[in-house]
Chain A
């Protein structure tokens, strides 16, 4: 099956006169990428003298910055600058915020931190390692505030407020009404409702963010190279923040980018930071994000709390929908948010013909990473609610879920179809697509498999989803967040300007440039096919450049790689540009061949008379004429050297007075169904079969279309089963490594059965629609519906990890029986560290007591200890550097002693902070003679930790604990003159433990 699918995607028909579009030719991008010659941002050299930046980030979710001591960092050799919020603020202005509110949005913390990972200082040095050394020398004093991480909790009375300009943490609250929903609900015989919590996740490209920036003080102009993906509306945001007009911000992209899926839109605050650092230092500055930074603080999809109700007729026909969406955009409302919430606004009725809709949209801020673009962009959140509700309706009415889907589909003859909320669905035949999928995907047989599995007592379920996949966003949809009056004041926003340039050089070879900024999608290959067809050439004759340079290239605010706009908009624009050139070439050739222009055809490298194929001229000869002999061109031909076309579809109008918005140009259709089996013991979900039917209009390159579907499916599978950006209640970030944020691997991703039909879009030049995001919208809810069917449960929350399913099936796990450890009541969310143990050391209790309270002794035996200061007899401060897994850091610990009972017992209490985390702890140590001249130490402790160290995973902390305790004991024993340890104890244990370094458990 797998073999057959892949082979059919790769079969290349070599028939000469068949168009290149529609064939799965090999990619022009691949030779370099397969041999290590890709040119990603960190592979490109930099100007000599370029400095390197690292970023010190907040360990707290919410805290005031009391002070930042950067002196020691600044003094470190090689350090050029240490920039805090104050310095950045001096050379920039706040990033614009997408709603009308008196709030500022800085790319670095100013006076207050609002999420874990928020930049606090940018350190610039001669190399990255030196910059990181300096970052460890910065002492930041924080005064923690209460944090709020739940969108509904954040708008509850009494919740901590993040921004005074967003009272009650509410950034926007809009209500919409289409048709007569109240009457529909009042009249309907049935009402069904569902509450959804859609989690946070991200498509996490394997290449992280990168920025290289320089500043010309003479012209006050910036040059930036960044693996930014667009939309280039963000260019205006960056220029404004840097306080220069757009023509003084030259933004370029590298030739290759290691995946984005929307995520690299979020590099823009770092463009501002690094450009500001270049301005302050007067030198080029480079920054490459690391993985911990990326997971913690790059960008995230929104999490959303949704209540959706439907008014339903007895036969399952949905008469009206009532949406209440609470969108969590994290700590700052960064451009283009709250776009995630409005991208789907025209599509809130999915694939269904529903005339009456009510919507309440609230946007809230919480102490989490700010959100931004992510594949699917708003679709997963909407369809999870809608398609779960459809299943609920079926169960409630005793109908088959597929019957309810089919009963509500938009009629095949109804296209173009205007949805209640304003989208103009271009084309489709949803009934036919479903019929084909049911047959080709063998639904009847799958049902028989389910019945057989259930007869054996196995947990097996089938899920369905029907999804309309919007593509080519209307730049005006985001203004739906504003009221009609506010929009009138701001001026109209709409359209989706795509651009393409086709150039002919003096030997007649063809170059194409677009502003589509691909991040792995093979745009260069597809454009070579599209343009080769127009000119009668082969793809290898066409050279395509997809780098962008805003100082020299054609671009618009809509440029970039998002909203699945390439095939539908950009490739079509390239076709138009090539056709314009071809039209002129035809006139030139007609005059040379003494025929009418209408008689000219481009084929096999020649421009030929259709009537008399012998009468022909080489393409390159005609193509070069505009360079060599413009005087010999016919008067009406014009130049053929270069043609730039801008194309925007007229269908993308601004939101109307009635708040209807055609939010996207094209609408593909997806119908998925799947069978899953859940292991009764492990509660692991296994996908038995996944069928996905796509109608994305005309297919330009079948291999790449299937690649997009498979890739989106794998990411959606991750979102459904494994991935979540998890936060503790105090805002600590818990999934900072790829060992904690689990991406699916080869052993988890099955091959979906992919089927296609093609209903060309009447609105796009090639008939193509977007295809890359659809499975991110359809697959999570399709799997959830199947799991709900298997388990017979009503409420399903992603990700479907076995522990969560266990709660559904078996109820919440009872607390473990008390094991004698004094367990202090703790917030469930904290990373708690509790333990106790014993150790034996030579020397009497009196001798050991003295050693343990002596700073010089402690300094020499605590691993990584730089110094111990005795402030008073009962108050110690220590600096300790320790590395665990990927994170090495310096901690400043402050420990006070209480209840001293020399030499028998002491209680210790203290806290520690460092760039990598913070913690607090209390412990009790007792010393007793062991009967043979030595001392038996007994200890217990209870600590809580947060910050980066809490992000890196319990298993790393556990291993590190054993090593550090062992080292301390070996040193103590040596110092005491021999002896051994039988457990783990020390002041070190407490010092370092409060620094957050000991045995963590989630």
Chain B
């Protein structure tokens, strides 16, 4: 295992939403700060910096990860997915994002990126969740605006849509 000098910056290479990118980070630099301030991926937000609020949640090598509790140095060579990678095109939203918009599942939108990442990750593995399962999953995210219900409804509706479109694809 390589040893970093504490007072120097070190190059960190990652795949960010499928694109190879690199930036320099001190050993103490958090992944959240690295994403936002070095790579310019400001869609990931920082709400508490102690792993409770969930706003900074990203996917690292297929694992849901609190980027505020992860060092940039830990993800060298990893594949990272963030909210910027969710939409199929710059002018088009994905199924989950559209469901959020329809259901008014966001107000200020600050916590939303983390919630979307958790749901996107979960729904890919659990295509037919119950409301209780979604509530359990999202209990690791704090939202101060919505009272949560519209988020739950958006998630359930998106899950149903994703499942039916997958079915259509496999039937074809």
Contact = CB atoms under 8 A, between A and B. Distances in A.
A291 B49 contact: yes
Given A34-B109, A257-B108, A3 B144 contact: no
Nearest to A30: B101
A282 interface: no
B48 A737 contact: yes
Contacts of A886: 49-50
Contacts of A747: 135-136, 139
Nearest to B151: A746
Interface string B16-31: 0000000000101100
Interface in A699-713: 703-704, 706-707, 710-711, 713
Interface residue tally on A, bucketed by range: 35 or more
Nearest to A752: B147
Nearest to A6: B153
Interface string B35-62: 0100001111111111011010000000
A31 B107 CA distance: 12
A35 B87 contact: yes
A40 interface: yes
Interface in A788-807: none
A299 to B, nearest CB: 15
A27 interface: yes
A38 B142 contact: no
B21 to A, nearest CB: 15
Contact of B112 (A9, A34, A706, A885): A34
A522 interface: yes
A293 B63 CA distance: 30
A822 interface: no
Contacts of A710: 146-150
Contact of A6 (B36, B43, B44, B103): B103
Interface string A10-54: 100000000000001011011101111110101100000000000
B117 to A, nearest CB: 10
Contacts of B45: 40, 206-207, 258
A680 to B, nearest CB: 24
A519 interface: yes
Given A43-B42, A206-B55, A746-B138, A291 B47 contact: yes
Which applies to chain A's interface (DSSP): helix, strand, loop or mixed?
loop
B110 A34 contact: no
A24 B102 CA distance: 9
B153 A258 contact: no
B48 A256 contact: no
A623 B152 CA distance: 44
A291 B84 CA distance: 25
Given A203-B144, A738-B53, A10 B106 contact: no
A42 B52 CA distance: 20
A747 B49 CA distance: 22
Interface string A731-746: 0000001110001011
B146 A291 contact: no
Nearest to B143: A206
B93 interface: yes
Nearest to A3: B153
A208 B26 CA distance: 24
Which applies to chain B's interface (DSSP): helix, strand, loop or mixed?
loop
Contact of A36 (B28, B83, B139, B147): B83
B47 A207 contact: yes
A5 B97 CA distance: 20
Given A34-B97, A42-B36, A207 B108 contact: yes
A848 B33 CA distance: 46
A43 to B, nearest CB: 4
Contact of A259 (B46, B108, B131, B149): B108
Contacts of A737: 48, 50, 52
A291 B49 CA distance: 7
A122 B45 CA distance: 25
Nearest to B142: A743
A258 B100 CA distance: 17
A749 interface: yes
A31 B92 CA distance: 8
B110 to A, nearest CB: 3
B97 A206 contact: no
Contacts of A31: 93, 101
Contact of B93 (A34, A40, A206, A743): A34
B41 A520 contact: no
A204 B142 CA distance: 11
B48 A707 contact: no
Given A36-B41, A36-B42, A27 B101 contact: yes
Contacts of A445: none
B149 A2 contact: yes
B145 A259 contact: yes
Given A2-B149, A35-B84, A885 B50 contact: yes
A885 B82 CA distance: 25
Contacts of A27: 101, 104
Contact of A746 (B36, B101, B113, B139): B139
Contacts of A10: 102-104
A872 B53 CA distance: 49
Contact of B110 (A259, A707, A711, A715): A259
A642 to B, nearest CB: 30
A259 B55 CA distance: 13
B162 interface: no
A704 B146 CA distance: 10
B14 interface: no
A918 interface: no
B59 to A, nearest CB: 13
Contacts of A43: 36, 42
A581 interface: no
A258 B109 contact: yes
Contacts of B123: none
B86 A745 contact: no
B66 interface: no
A738 B113 CA distance: 19
A714 B148 contact: yes
Nearest to A259: B108
A6 B149 contact: yes
Contacts of B148: 710, 714, 745-746, 749
Contact of A522 (B49, B107, B138, B139): B107
B48 A738 contact: yes
B78 to A, nearest CB: 19
A885 B45 CA distance: 20
B48 A291 contact: yes
A206 B111 contact: yes
B49 A520 contact: no
Contacts of B46: 42
A954 interface: no
A130 to B, nearest CB: 10
A290 B50 CA distance: 10
A291 B50 contact: yes
Given A207-B110, A711-B145, A743-B142, A35 B50 contact: no
Contacts of B50: 291, 737-739, 885-886
Given A34-B112, A291-B49, 8 more contacts: A2-B149, A129-B29, A206-B55, A291-B50, A707-B147, A711-B146, A746-B136, A746-B148
Interface of A: 2-3, 5-6, 9-10, 24, 26-27, 29-31, 33-38, 40, 42-43, 129, 203-208, 256-259, 261, 290-291, 519-522, 703-704, 706-707, 710-711, 713-715, 737-739, 743, 745-747, 749, 751-752, 885-886
22 contacts: A5-B149, A30-B106, A33-B108, A34-B87, A34-B106, A35-B43, A35-B84, A35-B90, A38-B43, A40-B45, A129-B26, A203-B144, A206-B143, A207-B110, A208-B47, A258-B47, A291-B48, A714-B146, A737-B52, A738-B50, A739-B52, A749-B149
Q: Which 6 A-B pairs have the closest CB atoms?
A: A36-B43, A520-B108, A258-B110, A33-B109, A710-B147, A714-B147
Interface of B: 26, 28-29, 36, 41-50, 52-53, 55, 82-84, 86-87, 90, 93, 97, 100-104, 106-113, 116, 131, 134-136, 138-153
